[in-house]
Amino acid sequence: MSKTKSEVTHHVLVPTHEKISDKEKQDLLKRYNITIKELPMILNKDPAIESLMLKDGDVVKIARASRTAGETIFYRRVINA
């Protein structure tokens, strides 16, 4: 990352993104009875996960602040740009 670019993940409005393990991923797919294709997507070069160096098929867990529910968990699968 160039020095002029600021790290977006430090910003208050950017929710925490983290990679989930393979086991968690399988559990997730089983819980919703889906294949990975049914998950929403996120680009691997998305500034919020760029530093995690994820690859196609990984799943990120996003914990967002929610107006209606306090905190809410969202999952996205990583795709290559």
Partner 1 sequence: MAEEKEPTAVVSEEQLDAESKEKTSDEKKIPTFDRDYHEPAVTKRIAAISFGLLSPKMIKQMAVCKVVTPELYDKEGYPVDGGLMDTRMGVIDPGLTCKTDGKRLKDTPGYFGHIELARPIIHVKFVDVVLTMLRCACRECGRVLIPDNKVQKIAKELDRIEQEEGLERRREAIKDIVINLKTTSKCPHCKAKQQKITIEKPTTFLESEKRISPIEIRTRLEKLPDQDLVLFGLHSHIRPEWMILTVLPIPPVTMRPSITLESGERSEDDLTHKLGDIVAPEIIIEDLWDLLQYHITTFFDNNIAQLPPARHRSGQPLKTLTERIKSKEGRIRHNLAGKRTNFCARTVISPDPLIRINEVGLPKLIAMKLTVPEVITAWNMKYLKTFVENGPAKYPGANYIIRPDGKKKKITDETKEASLEELQPGYVVERHLLDGDVALVNRQPSLHRMSMMCHRIRVLPYKTLRLNPAVCHPYNADFDGDEMNLHVPQTEEARAEAETLMEVQTQLISPRYGLSVIGCIQDAISGAYLATTSLTFTREESIDLLSAANIEDYSQLPDKEKITGKELFSCIFPKDFDFTGKSKKGEPVRIQKGKLIEGTLDAANLGAGSGMLLRGLHRKYGADETLTILGNLFNLGNEILVKYGFSTSLSDTDLPQKAQDLIQEALDQAEKDVTQLIDDFHNNTLEILPGRTAAETLELRILEVLNKARNKSGEFATQYADQNTNLVVMINSGAKGKPLNLAQMAACVGQQAMRGKRIEKGYFDRTLTCFKKGDLSPLARGFIRNGFKHGLNPKEFFFGAMTGRDSLMDTALRTPKSGYLYRRLANAMQDLRVEYDETVRDSSGKIIQFQYGEDGIDVSKSEKGMLNVQRLIDSV
Number of residues that bind partner 1 (CB under 8 A): 15
Give the tokens for residue 57.
Answer: 């098929």
Whole-number Å distance between alpha carbons of 58 and 79:
8
Q: Which stretch binds partner 1 (CB under 8 A): 4-12, 14-22, 26-34, 48-56?
A: 26-34
Binding status of residue 37 toward partner 1 by CB under 8 A? yes
Smallest distance, partner 1 to C-beta of residue 65, A: 10
Binding status of residue 40 toward partner 1 by CB under 8 A? yes
Whole-number Å distance between alpha carbons of 42 and 76:
6
H or E element, residue 19: strand 16-19
What is the 8-class DSSP label of residue 5?
A: S
Amino acid (one-letter) located at 80: N
Binding status of residue 7 toward partner 1 by CB under 8 A? no
The binding site for partner 1 (CB under 8 A) comprises 31-34, 37-40, 66, 68-69, 72-75
